[in-house]
């Protein structure tokens, strides 16, 4: 198979983890006989520096031509005081809108080798295996009106029936092949938009009688994730809540650097590690690339339907974790491995 993939390394450690992920992707191509058609574009802070905009037209065109996009990270401290539309993150939001990737899948798994890496007690995190399905193109991040003046700042959390229905179908279809349980997270005790969300989720659930549906308020969900994460199978939630809760998942996995993600639409897929650009360690070859490499596994599964290849990548990640050849964030017993060394170890394990 010919895999047509756009690479958007972005800012900070994004370039380093993407490079490691590409090496693994090349190893997959070699092992399983696939050809790679790779292109590269600009997104985020580096795009602002070179083109004046966080999401250049050329990058938009490359996204449309590729079957899938693999992204590193965006964000640089120098843009923290810039208006929202002129920050690196605006490029990511723009790309999500253009690709219409409405469902963000964030697997949270506690690997046996990383039980001691979590700050939570071993008996709490052992056996955690959940996936957060976050709606990605609606809610506060996109709602209108929005704005700010000297005395007032405001955003709008808004959802349409179509937006809730399509991401809910995604969550229930995933649950079919897992433990058949969906937890829908909202704030329906105080927010009308959450009451609407819950109403639509209940309606969609009638199409999946084999799936158990429960509802949970977002503050309780955050607490339950650190008290008893094994209770969750598929967690469904809106954009802002999903953004926050998936970072809580980093505690369960041992490091946010372990978390991959897949953003899916009707036709296109965008894949990226959950972590940010981490400018404090950029250029030091010490970032954890396993989130990016796990995103490659997700790409192989969801965009290209290559389950054998995806499983091989995840198995290789497991072998590397067992070997102890990991970066400093995972608290190795010996000398920490570099970003490059971890990428090479996963490729070798394939």
Answer positive or negative: Cα dihedral of 189, 96, 260, 44: negative
Q: Which of 30, 162, 219, 267 is catalytic?
A: 219
Tokens of 344: 């090479």
CB 34 within 8 A of CB 44: no
What are the φ and ψ backbone dihedral angles of 41, each rounded to 5 degrees? Answer: -135, 180
Q: Could you tell me which of 338, 298, 295, 343 has the C-alpha nearest to residue 320? A: 343
- Establish whether 271 is a catalytic residue: no
CA separation for the pair 330, 84 (Å, rounded):
33
- Establish whether 187 is a catalytic residue: yes
Tokens of 218: 């977002």
Q: Which of 67, 100, 247, 315 is catalytic?
A: 247
Query: First-to-last CA distance in the chain?
Result: 18
For residues 27, 32, 34 and 39, what is the CA-based torsion angle, rounded to 10 degrees? -20
Residue 172: C-alpha distances to residues 95, 241, 250 (Å): 26, 19, 24
- Establish whether 129 is a catalytic residue: no
CA separation for the pair 222, 159 (Å, rounded):
22
- Establish whether 247 is a catalytic residue: yes
- Establish whether 219 is a catalytic residue: yes
Q: Which of 141, 142, 159, 302 is catalytic?
A: 141
CA separation for the pair 194, 188 (Å, rounded):
5
Q: Which of 187, 268, 286, 325 is catalytic?
A: 187
Q: Which of 233, 243, 325, 329 is catalytic?
A: 243
CA separation for the pair 114, 116 (Å, rounded):
5
**Active-site amino acid positions:** 141, 187, 219, 243, 247
């Amino acid at each position: 198979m010919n895999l047509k993939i756009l690479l958007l390394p972005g800012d900070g450690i994004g370039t380093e983890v993407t490079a490691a992920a590409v090496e693994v992707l090349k190893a997959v191509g070699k092992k399983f006989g696939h050809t790679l058609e790779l292109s590269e574009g600009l997104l985020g802070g580096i795009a602002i520096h070179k083109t004046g905009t966080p999401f250049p037209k050329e990058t938009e065109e490359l996204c449309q031509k590729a079957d899938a996009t693999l992204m590193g990270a965006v964000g640089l401290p120098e843009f923290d005081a810039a208006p929202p539309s002129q920050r690196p993150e605006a490029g990511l939001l723009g790309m999500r809108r253009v690709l219409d990737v409405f469902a963000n899948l964030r697997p949270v798994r506690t690997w046996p080798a990383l039980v001691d890496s979590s700050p939570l007690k071993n008996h709490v995190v052992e056996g955690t295996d959940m996936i957060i399905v976050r709606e990605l193109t609606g809610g506060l991040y996109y709602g209108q009106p929005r704005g700010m003046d000297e005395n007032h700042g405001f955003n709008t959390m808004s959802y349409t029936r179509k937006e809730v229905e399509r991401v809910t179908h995604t969550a229930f279809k995933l649950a079919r092949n897992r433990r058949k349980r969906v937890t829908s997270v909202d704030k329906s005790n105080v927010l009308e938009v959450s009451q609407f969300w819950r109403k639509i989720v209940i309606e969609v659930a009638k199409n999946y009688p084999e799936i158990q549906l429960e509802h949970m308020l977002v503050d309780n969900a955050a607490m339950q994730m650190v008290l008893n994460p094994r209770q969750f199978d598929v967690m469904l939630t809106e954009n802002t809540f999903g953004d926050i809760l998936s970072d809580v998942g980093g505690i369960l996995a041992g490091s946010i650097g372990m978390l991959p993600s897949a953003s899916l639409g009707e036709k296109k897929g965008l894949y990226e590690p959950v972590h940010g650009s981490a400018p404090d360690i950029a250029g030091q070859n010490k970032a954890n690339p396993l989130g990016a490499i796990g995103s490659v596994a997700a790409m192989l599964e969801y965009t290209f339907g290559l389950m054998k290849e995806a499983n091989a990548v995840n198995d290789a990640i497991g072998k590397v974790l067992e070997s102890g050849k990991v970066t400093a964030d995972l608290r190795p017993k010996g000398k920490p491995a570099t970003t490059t060394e971890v990428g090479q170890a996963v490729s070798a394990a394939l």
